[in-house]
Amino acid sequence: MTAVLEQTTVAGVYDIPAEAYHADPVPGGSLSSSGARVLLDCPARFRYRQQNPEPFTKTFDVGHAAHKVVLGAGPELVRIDADEWRTKAVKEEVAAVRARGAVPLKPADWARVHAMADALRTNRWAASALSPDSGLPERTLVWRDDETDVWCRAMVDWLRHTAIVDYKSTISVATDAIARTVATYGYHQQDAWYLDGAAALDLDVEMFLFVFQEKDPPYFTRVVELDQDDLLRGRARNRRALALYRDCTVAGVWPAYPDEITTITLPRWATYAEEAPLE
């Protein structure tokens, strides 16, 4: 059972509008998974974004629109029957759609996002994980970390009784490509963050599944569960982020990058490629 509200200081599962979630529903501030990743890279950047939030927008790209069609949550999508939005009449139609909080789409994009949703349903694991009667879309978890006393939040794409499912559109669902995406964007931290949030709220969540789908035809889809060692690595990074958030908040100091000349080395994959023998 979820409650509907925009601000809270009580741990729980909530149905919070996206605008309120991104503005932070916890008075005094809370830390999200994406915020934790920015914080570990540069506390000063995190603080700047916290104090200078970008205005929330409902302007969706194809991936976000597909997210709406697949999950059935989010602003209304409206097909605009014009390939070009240059005439006065079409511009007025588009403006009217946006004014009521909906998202206008060109015919090609409309067809594309619905084709993605249809293709996803042909993957038996994805179709089962995101079946309409299996859970609730876009639920927000709010909890207080016992060790640091830091308030935390997470917006779950799909909350099932025993699992959290996260839908992501991507360029490629090849195994190596997904692994690089997980490493690049810190999705192993997101996995651990959400599971720990569910545990803090005594939810019966046993696993976190990613549903990756390509944004180009034929829209291949794969359901992924991360390796347990990588999950532990993500959790360790989250613990460092929580401690850093607490310490920066108490001290009122948010360090930036070192103000000195720094020696940078190539990543291991790049040096390996240089050292590999020519065939």
Same domain, 71 and 168: no
pLDDT for res 118: 94
**Domain boundaries, position 65:** 61-120
pLDDT tens, position by position, for the chain (279 residues)?
Answer: 455 555 677 999 999 888 889 889 999 999 999 999 999 999 999 999 999 887 655 445 677 788 888 888 877 888 998 888 889 988 889 889 888 878 899 999 899 999 999 999 999 999 999 998 899 999 999 999 999 999 999 999 999 999 999 999 999 999 999 999 999 999 999 999 999 999 999 999 999 999 999 999 999 999 999 999 999 999 999 999 999 999 999 999 999 999 999 999 988 878 776 665 555
Same domain, 41 and 77: no
pLDDT for res 273: 65
| Number of domains observed in the structure of the chain | 2
Same domain, 235 and 267: yes
Domain limit, last residue, from 120, 135, 167: 120
Residues 118, 243: Cα–Cα separation, whole Å = 43
Same domain, 65 and 39: no
Same domain, 41 and 145: yes
pLDDT for res 176: 95
Quickly tell me which residue has 């200081």 as its tokens: 9
Among 46, 106, 16, residue whose Cα is nearest residue 244: 46
State the CB neighbour count (10 A cutoff) for residue 113. 25
Domain limit, last residue, from 80, 103, 120: 120
CA distances from 104 to 2, 29, 86 (A): 30, 33, 14
Same domain, 130 and 103: no
pTM of the model: 0.87
Same domain, 138 and 231: yes
